[in-house]
Structure 1
Amino acid sequence: MSDPNPCLDCGMCCVHFRVSFYWGEADDAPGGCVPAGLTEKLNLHLRCMQGTNAEPRRCVALEGQPGGRVFCTIYDRRPTPCREFPSHEADGSPNGKCNELRAQIGLPPLRPIAAGQAA
């Protein structure tokens, strides 16, 4: 049995980063999938997820309380920055920024995993 996804008890990246991405990723553009109604325009080429452009940050798609049970309500439709921020690197080592954010809410650091099994 594999370990549960460490993101499901954290969620700190969703309350720490501005999630900005190319406007064409939104579903009001041909081929886009991110729900446009959950985004805000930053400039001609960029949008961000609502709730991530100002302090305090909290992505509108985050459900639950960071440090408790959390999940992304648009996980299969999330933008590129979310897809590209792994809990573990390709070699199985923990993402250092993940561990920094987890420490802020008292969660234990992530441990290395076998390469290729990153969440």
Structure 2
Amino acid sequence: MSDPNPCLDCGMCCVHFRVSFYWGEADDAPGGFVPAELTEKLNLHLRCMNGTNEVPRRCVALAGQPGEQVSCTIYDRRPTPCREFPSHEADGSPNRKCNALRAQIGLPALQPLAAAELSG
């Protein structure tokens, strides 16, 4: 049995970064998928998730308490920056930025993935 998803007890990326993305990812554009009502316009080409353009940040799609238990309410429809921020790199090493954010709330650092986890 594999370890649980480390993101489900963290959520720090959702309260740290401005989640900005190409406007065409929003569902009011042809082929878009991110719920437009959860976004705000930044400029002609970019939108961001509500709650991430001001400090303190907290993405409107984040449910739960960071450092305890969290989930994304639009996980299957999340924007590209969220899809592309991995807990681990392709070689199995932990994402350094992810570990730095986890440390801010006292969560243990992620360990490298075993070879079996990389192939599965």
TM-score bin, normalised by smaller chain: over 0.9
Aligned match of 2:11: 11
Aligned match of 1:59: 59
Unaligned runs of 5+ residues in structure 2 are none
RMSD of aligned C-alpha atoms?
A: 1.2
Q: How does 1:1-119 map to 2 (within 5 A)?
A: 1-114=1-114, 117=118
Unaligned runs of 5+ residues in structure 1 are none
Q: Percent identity?
A: 86
C-alpha offsets along residues 88-119 of structure 1, whole Å, 9 cap, x if unaligned?
0000000000000000000000000035649x
Query: Which AA in structure 2 matches 1:105?
Result: I
Partners of 1:98 and 1:117 in 2: how far apart? 18
Partners of 1:49 and 1:114 in 2: how far apart? 34
Deviation at 1:41, TM superposition (A): 0.2
TM norm structure 1: 0.96
Partners of 1:57 and 1:45 in 2: how far apart? 22
Give the 3-state SS of the residue equivalent to 2:63 in structure 1.
strand
Deviation at 1:4, TM superposition (A): 0.3
Give the 3-state SS of the residue equivalent to 1:70 in structure 2.
strand
TM norm structure 2: 0.95
Q: Name the structure with the higher helix share.
A: 2
Query: Which AA in structure 2 matches 1:67?
Result: G
How many residues are matched? 118
CA contact (8 A) 1:10 1:69 kept: yes
